[in-house]
Amino acid sequence: MTGEAGASPEKITIIVHSGDFDKVYSAFIIGNGALAMGMEASLFFTFWGLGRLKKGQLDKGPLSKMHMWGLGKLMIKSRMKKAKVVSLERLAQDFKELGGKILACDMTMDIMGISPEDLRQDLIEEYCAVGTYIAEARSSTVTLFI
């Protein structure tokens, strides 16, 4: 074997529409798994998902179910800690290190009055719209909407 796979690698594109804590976890875990297995990966953050890219907000989303005014999330977080699940911040850093792309939807930024200065520019590769998503998605073998 001569090492890393040849030809152009397969690609996964994930729309992160939800800003829910658990769903953002799913997006990053799947994205990291894909990169680790030799695929390219893009996460397109839009609508509620984009809120998670604001500074200090990555792990601040509610649970998609049983949030119970924060009580459910507290419980899940403590169980995740016990199970040694790594933080979203760590997953985001690994995602970047393995060459994953994080894209921010600029229409959502307009709607919500978010400027690039409000966002984690250290994580974001590009500010873009649906055309960029489609350009990425049409050459992807896997696409997910979370």
String of contacts with another protein for each residue 14-43, x by CB under 8 A: ---------------x--xx-xxxx-----
Calpha distance 34→57 (Å, rounded): 24
Please select the residue that binds another protein; options are 54, 72, 77, 86, rule is CB under 8 A. 86
Please report, for residues 47, 97, 100, 114, 122, the alpha-carbon distance to residue 26 in angstroms, rounded to integers and kept in the order given. 17, 18, 15, 24, 21
Please select the residue that binds another protein; options are 54, 85, 129, 132, rule is CB under 8 A. 85
Piece of the chain touching another protein by CB under 8 A; list 15-23, 60-68, 89-97, 124-132: 89-97
Residue 94 binds another protein, judged by CB under 8 A: yes
User: Taking Cα atoms as reference points, which of 91, 76, 77 lies closest to residue 28?
Assistant: 91
- Give, as ranges, the residues between 38 and 57 that touch another protein (CB under 8 A): 38
Please report, for residues 11, 31, 52, 86, the alpha-carbon distance to residue 38 in angstroms, rounded to integers and kept in the order given. 9, 11, 26, 21
Q: Which residues bind another protein (CB under 8 A)?
A: 1-6, 29, 32-33, 35-38, 83-86, 91, 94, 97-98
